[in-house]
C-alpha cells in the first residue's frame, strides 16, 4: 500500500517537483534540493473527472472521490465548522521507476553534497515520488452565528482555518462569522473556488543511509550507483574511519510524532494528529 501524506494546506502545482529531496513531509517547500531529471525518466499521469467528496456519488470507490471526502472531514474537524470540498477533476502524478530516478540524481555532485550536509545535521531525507491534485476545487463553508444574553461572540471562518494551518484562498467575499451561544443562531454559508490545480497529498519514499570505510571497499565500486566517497570529510575522518556514504530507498516512512492513517482505495493517507481535532 502506497503511503501519502496529507498536507496541512493546499499548494499550487508548481510548489513541489517530483523527484525533490527534502526533510519535512508536511512542509515540502523548506530545505530541499531539486535535481536535473535523468534523460530516461518519465512521469505517469492519471486523470479522474466528475467526482465529489460524498459517500453516495459513485458505485465504485476510487482514490480521488475518497480523498475529497477525507479532505472535507479533516478540515471540518480542525476548524470546528462544516467545510465541504468538491471538484470535477483530479490528477495523480507518479515518477515512473522512481528507484532508477533516484540512482540517477545521486550522481550529481550538488545533490551528494546536500545529502551529506543533511545527514550530518541528523535530519531524515525523503524523495517525492508522487502527488495528488484537485482542479478548481469548490469549497463550501457553513457556520453558525449565535446570540446570547450578553451579546454576540464571533470570529471569522478564514481566521479559524488559518489558526489550524489550513490555508485556503477564499477570494474577496465577505468573511462570515462563527458564533457561540445558547440562544438564537443563524447559519452562514460561504462558497468559493480555489482557482487552478492544487496539491493536497504527497507520496514519499524515505532515504536510508549508512557509512562505510573506503579501506574495505573495492575502489571500482565507488562513484557508481548510490555509494560515494565524501566530498567534505569531517576532520575526524581525515585519517581513518567511515568515509563513504551509501544511500538507498525505503518504503516505510517511519515518521516521528503522532500520525494516523486512512485507507483510501489502494493508497494510505497519513495525517498528523497535532493538526486534527477530535470528532
Q: What is the DSSP string of the chain?
A: -EEEEEEEEEEEGGG--TT-EES-TT-TTSSEE-PPPPTT--EEEEEEEEEES-SSS-SS--HHHHHHHHHHHHHHHHHTSEEEEEEEEEEEEEETTHHHHHHHHTTSHHHHHHHHHHHHTT--EEEEEEEEEEEEEEEEEEEEEEEETTEE-EEEHHHHHHHTT-----TTSPP-EEE--SS-EEEEEEEEEEEEEEEEEEEEEEEEEEEE-GGGS-GGGTTBTTEEE-SS--GGGSSSS--EEEEEEES-----S-EEEEEETTEEEEEEGGG----
Whether pLDDT at 96 is above 90 = yes
Q: Given this model, what pLDDT does residue 267 score?
A: 78
Whether pLDDT at 31 is above 90 = yes
Distance of CA 27 to the CA centre of its chain: 7
Q: How confident is the model at residue 125 (pLDDT cuts 50, 70, 90)?
A: very high
Q: Given this model, what pLDDT does residue 240 score?
A: 58
Cell 557508481 -> residue: 224
Higher pLDDT among residues 239 and 152, named by residue: 239
pLDDT digits (tens, 9 = 90+) for 186-219: 667 778 788 899 999 999 999 998 888 877 776 6
Q: How confident is the model at residue 73 (pLDDT cuts 50, 70, 90)?
A: confident
Mean pLDDT of 170-177: 37
pTM for this structure? 0.76
Amino acid at each position: 500500500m502506497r503511503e501519502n501524506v496529507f498536507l496541512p494546506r493546499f499548494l499550487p502545482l508548481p510548489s513541489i517537483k517530483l523527484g525533490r529531496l527534502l526533510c519535512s513531509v508536511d512542509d515540502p517547500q523548506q530545505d530541499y534540493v531539486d535535481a536535473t531529471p535523468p534523460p530516461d525518466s518519465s512521469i505517469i499521469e492519471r486523470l479522474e473527472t466528475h467526482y465529489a467528496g460524498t459517500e453516495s456519488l459513485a458505485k465504485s470507490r476510487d482514490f480521488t472521490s475518497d480523498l475529497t471526502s477525507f479532505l472535507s472531514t479533516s478540515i471540518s474537524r480542525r476548524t470546528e465548522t462544516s467545510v465541504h470540498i468538491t471538484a470535477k477533476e483530479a490528477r495523480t502524478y507518479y515518477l515512473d521507476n522512481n528507484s532508477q530516478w533516484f540512482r540517477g540524481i545521486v550522481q550529481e555532485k550538488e545533490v551528494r553534497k546536500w545529502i551529506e550536509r543533511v545527514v550530518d545535521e541528523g535530519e531524515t531525507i525523503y524523495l517525492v515520488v508522487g502527488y495528488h491534485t484537485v482542479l478548481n476545487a469548490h469549497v463550501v463553508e457553513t457556520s453558525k452565528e449565535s446570540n446570547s444574553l450578553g451579546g454576540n461572540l464571533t470570529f471569522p471562518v478564514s481566521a479559524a482555518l488559518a489558526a489550524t494551518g489550513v490555508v485556503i484562498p477564499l477570494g474577496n467575499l465577505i468573511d462570515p462569522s462563527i458564533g457561540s451561544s445558547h440562544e438564537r443562531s443563524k447559519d452562514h454559508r460561504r462558497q468559493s473556488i480555489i482557482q487552478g490545480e492544487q496539491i493536497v497529498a504527497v507520496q514519499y519514499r524515505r532515504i536510508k543511509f549508512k557509512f562505510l570505510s573506503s579501506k574495505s571497499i573495492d575502489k571500482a565500486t565507488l562513484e557508481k550507483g548510490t555509494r560515494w566517497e565524501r566530498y567534505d570529510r569531517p576532520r575526524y575522518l581525515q585519517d581513518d574511519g567511515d568515509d563513504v556514504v551509501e544511500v538507498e530507498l525505503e518504503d516505510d516512512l517511519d515518521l516521528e510524532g503522532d500520525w494516523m492513517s486512512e485507507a483510501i482505495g489502494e493508497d494510505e493517507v497519513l495525517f498528523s494528529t497535532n493538526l486534527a481535532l477530535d470528532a
